[in-house]
């Protein structure tokens, strides 16, 4: 099979949903699929320099090839005329295209080109069909749907949702395209054989026996930090001991990030918290290996890649029912699930903080579940089977 993966950007700035291509592509290649990824060199909407990569020519990495194209000056829209021209010339040489995004000029025009050249394509909406997300810029999106996206959804071989809950609540605009529910994969982060890695605790001067509560995600309004911060303040007032680490950033909305930082610095949390900013590589691994509880009380999350990363690291998770893998967390007893309510969050975190043996049990359950269901090899097998069904049926 020759498969084309199309995504507007794979920059770290845009978070896990875009970055998943860097896990999927090598997993597919290891299974014998010929994979080409096409994307732009955009690296943020607010003055950041573009990615320092060669343009318009294939780069071989991890068994697949990736081609970057120059993003237009209007970077917010992540458009590339060169990418569309290349696609128009070459898409007919592929068996199928997997398009990752909706409401993006690159993804919309890519779907149109595939349809015109009768190449089957799958659309992955990245949570953009969630009713909560559709309320943002509602009138503009309604116009966009009427002109482009309804036709693109109707012409797709399947819509790739990453959770059953995402598929259940997503808007369809009267279209009855087949659902394809396959979760995202995560890389295996393993701790020391004889227990947790304590290097990050030593680095942050966290006393022995004080639980490390970790938030590691994009700092955005939908992530529920307006619930988490007052909940943590209440825990301190109730005499519970912990150290909170806020790991993440938001180059797309630096004002909101600054607001959250100031809120923590001006609260009782100040002497019980560390704000790291965006982290990756060894620093990220160390935090995942050293954390005792992972928390993400999002209002809506089509999958929750950060939650899956915590689970595979063996960390019990405390999440809201707005995170769409909440049922899997409940069923596997991988953590605690509540509502988007401060008092409910206080209750769950209190239970987690006061019961270290239960944390350990749920952490082990989380790791076992994630290794079985969220490994890239397992995800690749499911996606390849879906590709084959579509190609044969086409």
Beta bridge partners of 61: 64
Q: Is residue 193 part of a domain?
A: no
Q: Is residue 389 part of a domain?
A: yes
pLDDT value at residue 46? 73
Q: Is residue 190 part of a domain?
A: no
| Residues contacting 354, CB < 8 A, separation 6+ | 240
pLDDT value at residue 371? 92
pLDDT value at residue 280? 84
pLDDT value at residue 15? 72
Cβ atoms of residues 43 and 72 within 8 Å: no
DSSP-derived 3-state class of residue 167: helix
Beta bridge partners of 243: 212
Q: Is residue 192 part of a domain?
A: no
In this structure, the answer to whether residues 138 and 250 fall within a common structural domain is no
In this structure, the answer to whether residues 384 and 297 fall within a common structural domain is no
In this structure, the answer to whether residues 358 and 383 fall within a common structural domain is no
In this structure, the answer to whether residues 212 and 169 fall within a common structural domain is no
Q: Is residue 261 part of a domain?
A: yes
pLDDT value at residue 194? 39
In this structure, the answer to whether residues 33 and 78 fall within a common structural domain is yes
Q: Is residue 224 part of a domain?
A: yes
pLDDT value at residue 208? 86
81-90 and 105-116 are packed helices; what angle lies between their axes, rounded to 10 degrees? Answer: 20
pLDDT value at residue 77? 74
In this structure, the answer to whether residues 85 and 126 fall within a common structural domain is yes
State the CB neighbour count (10 A cutoff) for residue 219. Answer: 23
In this structure, the answer to whether residues 311 and 279 fall within a common structural domain is yes
pLDDT value at residue 13? 75
In this structure, the answer to whether residues 236 and 175 fall within a common structural domain is no
How far is it, in rounded angstroms, from Cα 381 to Cα 209?
42
Q: How many CA atoms lie within 13 A of 213 on its CB side?
A: 26
Q: Which domain holds residue 310?
A: 199-373
How far is it, in rounded angstroms, from Cα 111 to Cα 121?
7
> What one-character DSSP code corresponds to residue 192?
B
* pTM, two decimal places: 0.87
Total domains in the fold of the chain = 2
Q: Is residue 41 part of a domain?
A: yes
In this structure, the answer to whether residues 179 and 209 fall within a common structural domain is no
DSSP-derived 3-state class of residue 84: helix
Beta bridge partners of 215: 246
In this structure, the answer to whether residues 214 and 162 fall within a common structural domain is no
Q: Is residue 21 part of a domain?
A: yes
What CATH code is carried by the domain that includes residue 301?
Answer: 3.40.50.2000
In this structure, the answer to whether residues 208 and 356 fall within a common structural domain is yes
What is the gyration radius of the CA atoms in the chain, in angstroms? 21
Exposure string of 373-383, with b = 16+ CB inside 10 Å and e = fewer, is: bbbbebbbeeb
Which residues of the chain are under the pLDDT cut of 50? Answer: 192-195
């Amino acid at each position: 099979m020759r498969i084309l993966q199309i995504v507007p950007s794979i920059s770290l700035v845009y978070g896990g949903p875009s970055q998943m291509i860097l896990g999927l592509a090598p997993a597919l290649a290891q299974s014998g699929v010929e994979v080409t990824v096409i994307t732009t060199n955009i690296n943020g909407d607010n003055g950041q320099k573009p990615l320092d990569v060669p343009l318009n020519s294939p780069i071989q990495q991890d068994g697949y090839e990736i081609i970057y194209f120059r993003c237009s000056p209007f970077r917010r829209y992540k458009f590339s005329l060169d990418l569309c021209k290349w696609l128009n010339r070459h898409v007919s040489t592929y068996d199928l295209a997997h398009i990752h995004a909706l409401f993006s000029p690159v993804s919309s025009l890519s779907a149109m080109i595939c349809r015109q050249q009768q190449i089957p394509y799958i659309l992955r909406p990245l949570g953009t069909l969630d009713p909560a997300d559709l309320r943002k810029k509602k009138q503009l999106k309604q116009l966009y749907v009427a002109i482009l996206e309804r036709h693109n959804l109707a012409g797709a071989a399947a819509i790739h949702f990453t959770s059953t809950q995402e598929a259940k609540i997503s808007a369809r605009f009267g279209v009855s395209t087949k659902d394809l529910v396959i979760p995202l994969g995560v890389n295996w982060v393993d701790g020391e054989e004889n227990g947790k890695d304590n290097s990050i605790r030593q680095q942050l001067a966290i006393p022995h026996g004080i639980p490390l509560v970790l938030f590691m995600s994009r700092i955005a309004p939908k992530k529920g930090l307006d619930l988490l911060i007052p909940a943590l303040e209440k825990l301190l007032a109730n005499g519970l001991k912990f150290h909170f680490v806020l790991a993440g950033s938001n180059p797309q909305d630096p004002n909101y990030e600054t607001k959250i930082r100031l809120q923590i610095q001006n609260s009782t949390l100040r002497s019980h918290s560390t704000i790291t900013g965006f982290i990756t590589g060894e620093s990220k691994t160390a935090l995942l290996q050293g954390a005792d509880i992972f928390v993400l009380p999002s209002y809506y999350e089509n999958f929750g890649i950060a939650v899956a990363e915590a689970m595979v690291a063996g960390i019990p998770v405390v999440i809201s029912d707005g995170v769409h893998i909440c049922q899997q967390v409940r069923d596997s007893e991988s953590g605690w699930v509540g509502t988007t309510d401060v008092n409910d969050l206080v209750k769950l975190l209190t239970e987690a903080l006061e019961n270290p043996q239960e944390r350990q049990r749920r952490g082990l359950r989380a790791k076992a579940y994630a290794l079985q269901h969220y490994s890239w090899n397992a995800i690749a097998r499911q996606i390849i089977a879906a590709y084959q069904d579509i190609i044969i049926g086409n």
